[in-house]
Amino acid sequence: MAANQTASSETPTASAVPPPVKKRGRKPAVAAVAIVLAAGGYVWYRSSHTAEGDRPLTATVAYGNVENTIAAAGNLQPSNTVPVGAQVSGQLRKLHVRVGDKVEEGQLLGEIDARVQRNKVDSSRANIASAEAQIEARSSALELAKANAVRVERLYRERATSQQEYDSTMNALRSAEASLVQQEQSIVQNRATLATDETQLEYTQVFAPIDGTVVSIALKEGTTLNATQQSPTVMSIADLSTMTVETQISEADIGKVYVGMDVYFTTLGGGDRRWFSTLRQVLPTPTATNNVVTYTGLFDVDNADGALLSGMTTQVYFLRSSARNVLTGGQGFAARPPTAAGGPPGGSTPEARPTGGQRPPREGGFRPTNYPGGAVEGGTTLSSADDSAQRGEPTRNIAAMRARMDSQPRAAKVRVVAADGSIADREIMVGVASRVSAEVLSGLTEGEQVVAGIVQADQANANQNQQRNQQQQIIFQGGGNFPGGNFPGGGRR
So what's the pLDDT on residue 336?
Answer: 61
The 10s digit of each residue's pLDDT in 254-266 is 988 999 999 999 9
Question: 238 CB contacts (<8 Å, ≥6 apart)?
Answer: 78, 80, 81, 82, 212, 213, 215, 310
Cβ atoms of 277 and 299 within 8 Å: the answer is yes
Confidence of residue 411 (pLDDT cuts 50, 70, 90): confident
Q: What is the mean predicted confidence (pLDDT) over 194-214?
A: 93
- Over the stretch 156-188, which tens digit does the pLDDT of each residue have? 888 888 889 888 989 999 999 998 998 899 999
Q: What is the pLDDT of residue 352?
A: 35
- Separation between Cα atoms, residue 235 and residue 212, nearest integer Å: 12
* Residue-wise DSSP of 168-226: HHHHHHHHHHHHHHHHHHHHHHHHHHHHHHHHHHHHTEEE-SSSEEEEEE---TTPEE-
Of the candidate ranges 45-54, 149-158, 388-397, the one whose mean pLDDT is the lowest: 388-397
Average pLDDT in the chain: 75
Which residue in 441, 417, 424 sits closest to 357, CA to CA? Answer: 441
Local structure of residue 361 (DSSP, 8 states)? P
Instruction: Give me the helices (H) in 347-484, please.
Output: 387-390, 398-406, 457-477
How far apart are the C-alpha atoms of 157 and 174, rounded to whole Å? 20
Percent with pLDDT over 90 in the chain: 35
Choose among 339, 321, 341, 318: nearest CA to 409: 321
The percentage of residues in the chain with a pLDDT greater than 70, rounded to a whole number, is 66
How would you label 212-233 residue by residue, b for 16+ Cβ within 10 Å and e otherwise? Answer: bbbbebebeeeeebeeeeebbe
* Residue 106, pLDDT score: 93
Check: CB of residue 433 under 8 Å from CB of residue 333: no
Q: Read off the pLDDT band of 294 (50, 70, 90).
A: very high
The H or E element spanning position 450 is: strand 449-455
153: how many CB neighbours lie within 10 A of its CB? 15
Provide the 8-state DSSP code for 491.
-
CA distance 348 to 25: 82
Give me the pLDDT at residue 343, please. 37
Q: What is the pLDDT of residues 315-355, one digit of tens each?
A: 999 998 888 888 887 665 656 665 433 333 333 333 333 33
Position with higher pLDDT, 466 vs 427: 427
**pLDDT for the residue 236:** 93
Beta bridge partners of 327: 63
Q: Give the three-state DSSP class for 295.
A: strand
| Interval 87-112: pLDDT, tens | 899 999 999 999 999 999 999 999 99
Predicted confidence at residue 66, as pLDDT, reads 86
Tell me the torsion sign for CA atoms 233, 237, 242, 247. Answer: positive
Average pLDDT estimate for 308-320 = 93
Name the pLDDT band for 55 (thresholds 50, 70, 90): confident
d(CA 77, CA 215): 11
Residue 288: CB atoms within 10 A of its CB come to: 9
pLDDT of residue 475: 39
What is the mean pLDDT of the segment spanning 398-423?
A: 79
Whether the per-residue pLDDT at 368 is higher than 50: the answer is no
User: What pLDDT, in 10s, does the model give residues 217-260?
Assistant: 999 999 988 888 778 899 999 999 999 999 999 999 998 899 99
Strand duo 205-207 + 108-112: pairing: antiparallel
186: number of Cβ within 10 Å: 17
Kindly report, residue by residue over 4-26, the tens digit of the pLDDT: 444 444 444 444 445 554 555 55
Cβ-contact 261, 322 below 8 angstroms:
no
User: Beta partners for 413?
Assistant: 336, 427
